[in-house]
Structure 1
């Protein structure tokens, strides 16, 4: 006789030992319900696959927290980027000027795939896609919590930075319900001046990475990093790092763009601080880099 299935704080079913993933019952609870509604919304979004010579255009608004000035960063910034569907060329708007990178023979290998050809070929069954994500992470294979956090962050980035086929987008959202440790905010939170459902997980013991959904439609809106425990960010050794300081462990959006460096001086973060918000403004298929419609 199969043992009883317990339910954790996320409301997701936890199978007893010995049950294979394929035999597990579908996830249940508030988190699973939210992601299922988000997946159903994604499946209804109009979409026409791009031709190989077309480009995906994504615009993301970044709003940094109170410590931005200490890190030498702007509080508000918008990124506009283009990737050709075959993945062999990309472009970005920098200081109002379009910069087009040289064409390559093959799509560059990145942690998060950006070319449509690779994205369109990913598994569209949730457990198979989760297995693919976990296998792609090379930093925490022996640390289950770290591996799950990496999978969560990869999905977050894929949803925010790409124009995805509806079926893949829906599968990514359903995969999130399979990741242990994901919880949902009790009520709506403020996200760029509008209410949103926050569903996320605590990482590194001091920050929570959230995915934000529209309360009415469950459309993906973007992501944010929230401080859940007082924490100090230190510069690396040789750049003013204090004795006993922690290694560089900055959340997304915390590095000064283009420098590859950490904070120039230590920054004290307080519980409840919103470290960064990444609002997805738009994502669409266009005919050339520089086009936004």
Structure 2
């Protein structure tokens, strides 16, 4: 590798700073070079040691701008999936434990790249009627739930058998091994489908609420899944920068099949969504249709 290759490699790794940030660093670099020429033979500048010094100086120039200005997320220059998911678990454990009231609703707002938004209001204990957009979702009370949005107007509001499905989950494992076993059990005959498993992980992190220990176990369990990769410098559906965890599609899948990519904040490792969607609000409200 010659000097130019070394410089090019360093520049591609670190990224380029804006022009207005380069001038001071350029002057320092030239001043240093002039000083060395006064004390060493002219040919010194091209020996191997000087090449390494020049590459280091070039690194200082291209890295002069703050990370958020050059698109380099803190700590994820070469992201590792296990590290990212482990940090996501640590972040989840720091979330405050604030159990909602049973009569409240989980409100989640999701934004998409086309500026379309999705809003849902799910009953915390699963017994009250919620909303997905403007459409009602029947709550399950005494083993019966009203039907809404049916194709047959005669069935609108009729009762059907049900089991309450609380959106606030207190029934999930709190250790990585137990959570992984739970995910595999839920997958059933899809157990070997890593991409499908990624969808299950995303589903639990998306429009449900887990206790902090279960959230942590979810990401710790994901870290044990083989075949995952981390992708630097991705954005979620709202354009927020982050690092992505890619769940590969199974061999033999259609060429149109896309891997699930779950995006985390590159600094805090908080769950953000996917490149196609972004969870921008997730909180509790007192009534279906109410916004925070």
Partner of 2:227: 181
Partner of 1:131: 181
> Is structure 2 residue 150 aligned with structure 1 residue 87?
no
CA RMSD of aligned residues (A): 2.5
Q: 1:216 to 1:51 in 2, by over 3 A?
A: same
Partners of 1:98 and 1:290 within 8 A in 2: no
Structure 2: which 5+ residue stretches go unaligned?
A: 1-78, 146-161
Partners of 2:92 and 2:216 within 8 A in 1: yes
Partner of 1:222: 273
Partner of 1:115: 167
- CA distance in 2 between counterparts of 1:126 and 1:109 reads 28
Per-residue deviation, 1:284 = 1.0
What aligned pairs does 1:40-55 form with structure 2 within 5 A after superposition?
40-55=90-105
Q: Secondary structure at the match of 2:190?
A: coil
Deviations 1:172-219 (A, max 9, x none): 11111011111111x312333232101112214442211101111111
Partners of 2:228 and 2:246 within 8 A in 1: yes
Partners of 1:163 and 1:283 within 8 A in 2: no
> Is structure 2 residue 116 aligned with structure 1 residue 77?
yes
Question: Between Structure 1 and Structure 2, which shows a larger proportion of helix residues?
Answer: 2
Per-residue deviation, 1:101 = 2.7
Greater than 6 Å deviation, 4+ residue runs: none
Q: 1:109 to 1:102 in 2, by over 3 A?
A: closer
Q: 1:140 to 1:211 in 2, by over 3 A?
A: same
Partner of 1:101: 138
Which has more radius of gyration?
2
- CA distance in 2 between counterparts of 1:184 and 1:105 reads 46
- CA distance in 2 between counterparts of 1:102 and 1:39 reads 32
Structure 1: which 5+ residue stretches go unaligned?
A: 1-28, 64-74, 225-276
Per-residue deviation, 1:90 = 4.2
Q: Secondary structure at the match of 1:285?
A: strand
Per-residue deviation, 1:102 = 4.8
Q: What is the aligned length?
A: 191
Partners of 2:172 and 2:214 within 8 A in 1: yes
- CA distance in 2 between counterparts of 1:155 and 1:164 reads 12
Per-residue deviation, 1:139 = 4.0
Per-residue deviation, 1:76 = 3.8
Partner of 1:149: 195
Partners of 1:163 and 1:285 within 8 A in 2: no
Q: Secondary structure at the match of 1:291?
A: coil
